[in-house]
Amino acid sequence: MLRIWLAALLLLTSGIVLAHGMSAEDQARALSAGYLEYIELGAVHMITGYDHLLFLFGVVFFLTRFGDIVRFITAFTIGHSITLVFATLYGIRANYYLVDAVIALTVCYKAFDNLGGFKQYLQMKSPNLMWMVFAFGLIHGFGLSTRLQQLPLSEDGLVLRILAFNVGVEVGQVAALAIMLFLLSGWRRTESFKHFSRATNWLLMMLGVLLLLMQLHGYQHSAYPDDFPLNKDDHGHVHEDMEAEMSPLSGYQKRLDLAPEAETDASPATDESIESPLEPEIPDPSPHQHGDGAYHTH
C-alpha cells in the first residue's frame, strides 16, 4: 500500500510541475469553438484539475451516506458556479498563481479537519462543514474563472459559452466523484482503511502544502521576474515563451490590429514589381563543412 501511495505522489508532483492552465491548443480551439466544445473544455479542465480533485477527495473521504454526499457536493457546486459565471462575465481577475495558492490551502484545511485537528490541536469544534464547503466552492470557482478568462472569449454569446463551460465542469466533477466513491467504497471494506486512513489524510495535507509552495514560487516569478538571476527556471520560461510564440494564437491580436493599416499602406502591384519566385534550395546530401566547422550533411 505504501508503494502505491508513493507512486501516486510522484505522479501527482510531476503533473504539478507541468502546471494546470489552458493549453495553447485549447486556446486556439476556443477561437471558433461551439457550445459543445466549451462543455468538453470544462470537463477536461475539471478532470485534470488536481487541486479541485484533491479537495473533493478530502470532502467525500469519510462520507458514507448518499444524502450527505449530495448535500456537500451541491453546496460546492453552487459556490463555484456563482464565482465562475459572475467573475468571468464581469471580467473580475486576480493573479491565478495566488488564487491557486488559496485553493491549495483549502486542500490543507480539509485534510486538517479530517484528522480531527480542530479538537486535537485547537481544542475547539470544527467549523460548520456545509458553509465551509460552500465558501471554498466560491474560491474554486474563481480559480476556474481565471483559467476560463485565458481563452479568447468574444462578446457574442459570452453568457452561453460561460454556462457551457460550467456544464462541462459539472460533468467532469460527476465523473471524478464517481471514480472516487467507487474506490473509497471498496477500500472501506478492507482492514487497511482503518490503518491507512489517517496516513492518507496526512499525505493529502502534504500535497496541499506542496501545491501551495509551487503556486507561491510561480507567483514570485510572475510578479518579480527581475529579482531572479538566470537559472534553470528562467531557461524553462524561455521555452514556455517559445511555445507561446509558436502556438496558433501567437500574434493573433497583433495581426488583427495591423490588418487595416496593412491594407491602407498596400500599393497596387505592377508588372515591374512582381518578381519570379526563387527556386527552393535543394539540401546537399554530401558531407561538407562551413569555414573551420566540422563536416556534416543537410
- Sequence-separated (6 or more) residues with CB below 8 Å from residue 283: 297, 298
At residue 150, the pLDDT reads: 82
Residue 254's pLDDT is 47
> What does pLDDT average to in each consecutive run of 10 residues of the chain (298 residues)?
45 44 66 84 89 95 92 95 94 93 96 95 93 96 90 83 92 94 92 91 96 93 77 51 50 49 48 48 54 54
Task: Please tell me the pTM assigned to this model.
Answer: 0.70
Q: How far is C-alpha 38 from the chain's CA centre?
A: 15
Can you tell me the distance from the alpha carbon of 185 to that of 179, in angstroms, rounded to the nearest whole number? 10
Predicted pLDDT at 225: 82
State how far the alpha carbon of 239 is from the alpha carbons of 29, 115, 235, in Å.
22, 41, 7
Would residue 124 count as lying in a domain? yes
Is 251 a member of any domain? no
Do the domain assignments include residue 150? yes
Residue 277: inside a domain: no
Phi-psi region of 19 (alpha: psi -120 to 50; beta: other; left: phi over 0): left
Is 194 domain-assigned?
A: yes
Ramachandran bin of 75, using left for φ above 0, alpha for ψ from -120 to 50, beta for the remaining angles: alpha
Q: Coil, strand, or helix at residue 286?
A: coil
Instruction: Quote the CA–CA distance of 64 and 99 in Å, as a whole number.
Output: 31
Q: Does residue 283 lie within any of the structural domains? A: no
Q: At a CB cut-off of 8 Å and minimum separation 6, what does 90 contact?
A: none
Residue at 130 is within a domain: yes
Q: Positive or negative, the Cα torsion across 162, 80, 104, 64?
A: negative
Q: Residue 294 has what pLDDT?
A: 54
- Among 170, 204, 181, CA closest to 51: 204
* Number of domains comprising the chain: 1
Q: 3-class DSSP state for residue 248?
A: coil
Q: Of 104, 63, 60, 53, give the one whose Cα is nearest residue 206.
A: 104
- What residues make up the domain containing 166? 26-220
End-to-end CA distance of the chain: 53
Q: What is the pLDDT of residue 10?
A: 44
- What pLDDT is stored for residue 7 in this prediction? 46
Is 28:249 a contact under the CB 8 Å cutoff? Answer: yes
Evaluate whether residue 297 is within a structural domain.
no
Q: Are 215 and 94 in contact (CB under 8 A)?
A: no
Alpha-carbon gap, residue 104 to 279, rounded angstroms: 57
Beta-carbon count within 10 A of 55 CB: 26
